[in-house]
Amino acid sequence: MIELIESRLRIWGGDLTTIRVDAIVNAANEQLAGGGGVDGAIHKAAGPELLRACRALPEAHPGVRCPTGEARITPGFRLPARYLIHAVGPVWQGGGRGERGLLASCYQESLRLAIGIGLRTVAFPAISCGTFGYPVGPACRIAVETVAEALARDDALETVLLTAWGGEVRTAMEDALARLLKAGGSPGGSQ
């Protein structure tokens, strides 16, 4: 399992909107209306067609196009990625409101969508770590463990990049991956 993780799961520092992969995952809000941080940067780089495509997606319930923990897909428009997968992470509320499961679900659902349409390469931001306030260390452990579990179950994906714009997130991602590799590639529980 260690070789599998080392060869297919990578940490990358840089601008998510410039990566040439099959799909970029957007840390979105439930309305899929664009916003700040990663979401705003992706909407800006993809162009106005992205907002129109998001508005065309059906609402799950009034005002919500993608509930927390779920994912939706659109074309990438002006991005180098062919597709955008929009995943809505949880807002941190102290850890007792199912945040861990919802965050893991964002990664699982995004990968399920990617595999479902035959994509081979996917890049993720650190979902929920910005304005949603999820503590960086635990969020990065959840990201690394959830992606590693998916890669162990399914060989459809060639490469998954976990991207980090800032140093704190990159360090936390690298630490989480090193911890997983040291444990022999077996994910453990994180909050």
Give the residue numbers annotated as catalytic, written as ranges: 39
Cα–Cα dist 191/189, whole Å: 7
Among the listed residues 58, 132, 68, the one whose alpha carbon sits nearest the alpha carbon of residue 98: 68
Sign of CA dihedral 86, 67, 157, 131: positive
Q: Give helix 99-116 / helix 136-153 axis angle, nearest 10°.
A: 40
Residue positions counted in the chain: 191
| Residue 171, C-beta contacts closer than 8 angstroms, at least 6 positions apart | none
How far CA 100 is from CA of 17, 23, 61, 120, 163, in Å, comes to 26, 24, 23, 26, 20
